[in-house]
Every structure is written in C-alpha cells, then in structure tokens.
Amino acid sequence: MSRPPQPEAGPAHRLLADRLAAALARPVAQQPDWPDPERAQAVVAALSRAEPLVTPAETARLAERLAAVAHGEAFLLQGGDCAEAFAENTEAHQRANLGLLTDMAAVLARRAGRPVVTVARMAGQYAKPRSRPLDARGLPVYRGDLVNSIEPTPAARTPDPSRMLRARADAADAMAVVRDFRTGTRARPDDDGELYVSHEALVLDYERTSLRADLGGPEPRLASGLAHFLWVGERTRDPDGAHIALAELLSNPIGLKLGPRTTPEQALAYVRRLDPHGEPGRLTLISRMGHTRVRAVLPAIVEKVTASGHQVIWSCDPMHGNTYTSAGGHKTRALQHIADEVSGFFEVHRRLGTHPGGLHVELTGDDVTECLGGPRGLTEADLPARYRTACDPRLNAEQSMELATTVAELAAAGATDREVRLR
Ligand code: PEP
Ligand code: MN
C-alpha cells in the first residue's frame, strides 16, 4: 500500500527536527574549533542544499544484505584508508582500494562459501578523532583533511570550514568512481556486484547536512545521504553525547566501535538504544580490543548481547587495538598481531555459537610500507621507504590478501563445524 505524500512540515517532520536539535545540543567530543563560526554556518547552509551522495534504494538494499549477515548467511567486509586525503583522491588510488576489497571479498566468498557484503571506507572518510589536541611540536593536531591540513604550520593546522565543501565535492567524485567500478564488476559470480560506502560520523557540522525524513521504518528517522553506512568511533561513543544521540536517529545501518574497556552492561545499553526495534543487522558492533585482550574481553559482551535477543552483526577491527610506535618513530601494526586478533575473535564466536560476521580493516591497494610482516616480511627498517598514510598504518595489497586468506580459512572451518553439528 502506498502512503499519501507527506507534507514537509507534518508532525513526524517536526518531531524529527526537535529530536535532531536535541541530539546536536548534547555535549560533543572531537569537534573542530572553527575560528569563524559564521563562515562555518554558511558552509553548513551551502552543504545542506547539495545533492545527496547515495540513494535511499541503495541504503535499503544494504540494510537487507546486512540482515543476511546478522542471520549468519553472509559476511561483511569493510575497509579502506584510515583517512582519505584530498591529494590522494585520484581515480587510480580509489580503484586500487576498491580492486583490493573486491579481490579480498572474492577469496572470502569462494573459500567460506558465503556471499560477501563489501563496504568501502571511502567517499567521506575525511575526519579523524585524535587522542591529544596538540602534536609533538605543540601545534594543533591534524584532524583530517575535512578540518585542517597535515602540513605542520600554525596556519595550515587552523580549522577551515571551507574544507567541508572540498570534502563533499571529493566525496561526490569518489562516489562516481565507486559507481563506475561497480558497473564493471557486476558480472562476478562470487558477489552481488554491489559496493557500498561508509565513514565515521565524526564532524557533526558535516554529518547534519544531508539528513532527510525517512518515515518508512518502525519509527520516523533521518536518512543520511552522505553514506550508506555510518559508524560512531571509540572516542565519541559517550552515551550522553551528541554522536550516539544522532546515531539513534539515523535510518541508515550503523556501526559502533567497542574498545577493550567496554563492559557487557555498556554494550547492552548501546544495543537497546541503537536497535530499539530489534532489526537484524541494523547495528554492527565492531570490536577493536587488541590481540592480547580479545579472548578475555569479548566473550562476556557477546553473551550479554546475544541473551537480549538483538541480532547485531559482530565485526572485528583488528587494526586499532594493535597500533604501536616503531623504534624509528613510525606508527605501525604487525600483520601477525592483526591475524591473531581475528583468530581470537573467531575462537570466541565459535565457542559461543555466534556468527563472526565481519572484518573491518585499514588497507590500500597502493604499494605502501606501513604495517609489518606479510609475504615480503616487512620489518621496521622497511617502513620509511613508502610510509604514506595521513593517519594510521594500512595493510598493503599483499598483506591484505594474506589476511583475507587467513580469515577465509577461519570462516570455512566454522562453516564446516556448523554443518557437522547440524547433521
Ligand atoms: C578509525 O577507524 O580510524 C578509528 C579512529 O577507529 P577507533 O574509533 O576504533 O579508534
Ligand atoms: Mn584509523
């Protein structure tokens, strides 16, 4: 049955506008301190008039695919740069990242015998949460190209709201590359040929600019036109803060990063708020515990959430809990630790009978030397050669493929266990 057209200022729209204003009025972490707030507001107004980057039909299709992941029938692969950078927004870089993701998806699908839902960290991943406000030089820290420049001068590090316009234009260009790439790969038998985009919903002056009422779900919500999937990061998941309140309002599928200090009770409280209607796959819990802690911390969280009956997606980010600084001063990660966290994640879910449904990774198809190990056995001495990331260290193509093979084997072993149990 089709609904009559909704008047733009109907009660549901007013309710949503009020709820959005209340969400944005909450305490908010990790926001740029724009030196000229009037200019920032003018940019927000301009962005609010821009065309959305994704369509409601695409986002609805992703929600359906994620329901299949939550039911244990498919696997979620999410990955891309830690931070997209304007200078790296070339078609070659984007195609290299998309090509790597689809190659990984093909290995996973073939070996684990399940479809893979592929979600790029792309077309909006321009803002970064930071642990400290100042860098080692005492300058305001780089917060991503959406906010300031990585160049270490006071002027370059001053937040500039015009950067949000550039980010939106570059995101539109990236989205065009994604659509073109998707058309070229639709014939592959091992996936459904669809590619989705995602980023961390961090800078709220950017995120608030493409929200439209979505009255098609279990309650009136706001659909973001900036990405198919948005997630809330480890540093902005204050239950009283604006980011969680905004995520509650979104109709897009959403993710939430969970670090090693998360308690089972906290996890359950997030799940109740972010998935109040029990929609399978609406919420992806992305654990990033570190390889030494995942086996100890994750089980109680999984048990508590599973007992509540909510069908979340359990995804593993084996990157952010395994970062350290090399002797030469490079932020790095060892593939061995990354693979060990994924193994621990699979062990936990295998033991509890839950579906280890997803992998969330920072990677690039470019031939960088940012993480250690892999087929060429990169060591700390190799890092300076091609260390190019604007933020966190990424797996290169061969390291990513090695990880995909490891994950595919873990997933295939799990599938066999289940078949044996069912017989
Ligand atoms: C990230 O995904 O780049 C990130 C900052 O992760 P987290 O919020 O888990 O630290
Ligand atoms: Mn990162």
Per-residue pLDDT tens over the stretch 310-365: 999 999 999 999 999 999 999 999 999 999 999 999 999 999 999 999 999 999 99
Is residue 351 in a domain? yes
Is pLDDT larger for residue 418 or for residue 64? 64
Is residue 141 in a domain? no
Q: Which of 145, 317, 320 to mutate to test the pocket of ligand 1 (most atoms within 8 A of CB)?
A: 320
User: Which ligand has the minimum distance to the alpha carbon of residue 360?
Assistant: 1
How many structural domains compose the chain?
1
Is residue 151 in a domain? no
Q: What is the mean pLDDT of residues 214-220?
A: 96
Atom of ligand 1 nearest to the CA of 317: 9
Residue 419: band (very low, low, confident or very high) from pLDDT cuts 50, 70, 90: low
Residue 423: band (very low, low, confident or very high) from pLDDT cuts 50, 70, 90: very low
Domain with 318 in it: 7-85+95-127+161-413
Is residue 145 in a domain? no
Angle between helices 335-352 and 294-307 (to 10 degrees): 40
* Closest residue to atom 4 of ligand 1, CA basis: 233
Sign of CA dihedral 256, 225, 165, 90: positive
Is residue 90 in a domain? no
* Closest residue to atom 9 of ligand 1, CA basis: 234
Is residue 257's pLDDT more than 90? yes
Mean predicted lDDT score pLDDT of the chain? 94
Widest Cα–Cα separation across the chain:
66
Residue 9: band (very low, low, confident or very high) from pLDDT cuts 50, 70, 90: confident
Is residue 57's pLDDT more than 90? yes
* Closest residue to atom 1 of ligand 1, CA basis: 82
Q: What is the mean pLDDT of residues 259-273?
A: 98
Atom of ligand 1 nearest to the CA of 235: 8
333, containing H or E segment: none
Residue 6: band (very low, low, confident or very high) from pLDDT cuts 50, 70, 90: very low
Residue 4: band (very low, low, confident or very high) from pLDDT cuts 50, 70, 90: very low
CATH number for the domain including 16? 3.20.20.70
Residue 188: band (very low, low, confident or very high) from pLDDT cuts 50, 70, 90: low
The pLDDT score that the predictor gives to residue 313 is 99
Residue 418: band (very low, low, confident or very high) from pLDDT cuts 50, 70, 90: low
Burial (CB count <10 Å: 0-12, 13-18, 19+), residue 35:
exposed
Is residue 135 in a domain? no
User: Which ligand has the minimum distance to the alpha carbon of residue 255?
Assistant: 1
- Contact of 94 with 178, CB cutoff 8 Å: yes
Residue 103: band (very low, low, confident or very high) from pLDDT cuts 50, 70, 90: very high
Interval between CA 82 and ligand 2 midpoint (Å): 4
Interval between CA 153 and ligand 1 midpoint (Å): 25
What is the C-alpha to C-alpha distance for residues 188 and 196, in angstroms, rounded to an integer? 16
Q: Which of 126, 229, 235 to mutate to test the pocket of ligand 1 (most atoms within 8 A of CB)?
A: 235
User: Which ligand has the minimum distance to the alpha carbon of residue 126?
Assistant: 1
Q: How far is CA 107 from the centre of its chain?
A: 21
The pLDDT score that the predictor gives to residue 414 is 79
Q: Which of 132, 254, 257 to mutate to test the pocket of ligand 1 (most atoms within 8 A of CB)?
A: 257
Q: What is the mean pLDDT of residues 381-407?
A: 98
Is residue 372's pLDDT more than 50? yes
What is the C-alpha to C-alpha distance for residues 414 and 287, in angstroms, rounded to an integer? 19
Atom of ligand 1 nearest to the CA of 257: 9
Is residue 70 in a domain? yes
pTM of structure: 0.95
Is residue 348 in a domain? yes
Q: Which residues line ligand 1 (CB under 6 A)?
A: 82, 129, 200, 233-235, 257, 288, 317, 320, 392
Q: What is the mean pLDDT of residues 267-271?
A: 98
